[in-house]
Amino acid sequence: MADFDFDLFVIGAGSGGVRAGRMAAAMGVKVAVAEDRHLGGTCVNVGCVPKKLFVYASHYAEDFENSRGFGWTPGDAGFDWPTLRDNKTKEIERLNGIYNNLLVNSGCELIHGRATLVGPHTVAVGDKTYTAERILVAVGGWPNVPEFPGSEHVISSNEVFYLDEFPKRAIVVGGGYIAVEFAGIFAGLGAKTDLIYRGEMFLRGFDNEVREFTAEEVAKKGINLRFNTNITEIEKQEDGTLVATLTDGSTVEADAIMYATGRNPKVAGLGLEELGIEQGKNGAIIVNDDFQTNVPSVYAIGDVIDRVQLTPVALAEGMALVRNLYGGQNQKVDYDLIATAVFCQPNIGTVGLTEEQARERYENVDVYKSSFRAMKHTLSGSDEKTFMKMLVDRDSDKVLGVHMVGPDAGEIIQGIAVALKAGATKAVFDSTIGIHPTAAEEFVTMREPAK
């Protein structure tokens, strides 16, 4: 039997890599984890966690205004960007320390530096090499910013959390989660905000009715939605102003232009090509159902395999891998009914099929939906609305998908995801007594399908 330095060498200390490393070490496996940038990966450092903190911050101005209808007289509230930015950074540093302790205390050897593959069982970090029976690649993704005249002046989600100054005018380019969320953040914190997307409607892949409803609500927040257009050129003026030229020849001025146009697997310089590891068009590492590459000793999980780019999915993949390799199990990750949320304003929460998908797969689909003004806004004066939608297979009564746009949508849909995972029918929802008064109770009181 070959003598290796480690049983498992994990490249990348993001969500998936840390979970896999910790679990394996707890089983007595000799584990090393290498990370060259952020302990905790994208999610903790320049992703989900700081983004959610910024979303909270951006909502206060609206809350202050809404409080007037409840008898409050808010004073002249001012927003200080350095306070938010620096308090966020302190929290991230605290989390970095926690991740460090989790790895070290579990028995993993933490190696700081950029790791590259130099053989089926060999990894190089700096001028040192390490051998391992198995290598797990969990390096995540990286923002994809297209090259065009002036593209050097834009920022991505990597830089937006650390801006020296908060922009008075902001442009966000893109149509996915990150773009829609940051348009809301910029606008909520006081920036004049334009969202530019080359397609007809943002949030491709979501239920069309949800997309359209969200666009209406987002526009109410003062965000200027510019669909079917794109930036062709950016010029920086002497005073620092960025002038973006659009495809129709018009121009928009901004102090910051953020590109949220997708993320690609962070595989550059990793040594995959030299080792002959198969990759997809965007560099994604191709793996089988056991997360094994065509090089049997090398595995990969998380955003780098580009299946479902969500932190909880990377965690599930890491746990399944370790249980199968070292726990004698045969666990498969179920990618069906993955609930997700978009922290735009108002939030989106969704699980299961869209109406378009349901009608493609099932012959008889009933659609239940409701749109209403939340109880809070009967006094706040806000014209924000909430939207709920449920898709049911009429023949089996099985609930196929549930969608919500409104406050706390993610919190509500998480519970409903459990019901769908358990195979709940519409009759089960109908027989459930609601919690009153809540928005969530609407999901158990929708009796008649839409015509």
Q: Which residues are catalytic?
A: 436
Tell me the CA distances in angstroms from 404 to 216, 386, 430, one per residue in order: 14, 7, 18
Task: Catalogue the E-assigned strands of 73-163.
Answer: 109-112, 115-119, 122-125, 128-137, 141-143
Q: 31-35 and 6-11: which strand pairing?
A: parallel
- Tokens read off for 16: 């998936």
DSSP string for residues in 311-335: HHHHHHHHHHHHHHHHS--------
Which residues face 399 on adjacent strands? 392
- Tokens read off for 262: 């997708």
Crossing angle between the packed helical segments 177-188 and 48-66, to the nearest 10 degrees: 40
SS3 91: helix
Distance separating alpha carbons of residues 86 and 379, to the nearest angstrom: 35
Place of tokens 């239940």: 368
Tell me the CA distances in angstroms from 292 to 153, 274, 283, 301, one per residue in order: 39, 17, 16, 9
CA 391 to chain centre: 24
Can you list the alpha helix ranges (DSSP code H) found in 164-240?
Answer: 177-188, 208-220
Distance separating alpha carbons of residues 375 and 394, to the nearest angstrom: 32
> What number of other Cβ atoms are within 10 A of residue 264's Cβ?
17
> What number of other Cβ atoms are within 10 A of residue 111's Cβ?
20
Distance separating alpha carbons of residues 387 and 364, to the nearest angstrom: 23
Planar angle of CA 255, 258, 261, nearest 5 degrees: 160
Distance separating alpha carbons of residues 419 and 390, to the nearest angstrom: 13
Phi, psi torsion values for 431, nearest 5 degrees: -85, -5
Which residues face 192 on adjacent strands? 169
Distance separating alpha carbons of residues 417 and 154, to the nearest angstrom: 38
Q: What is the CA radius of gyration of the chain?
A: 24
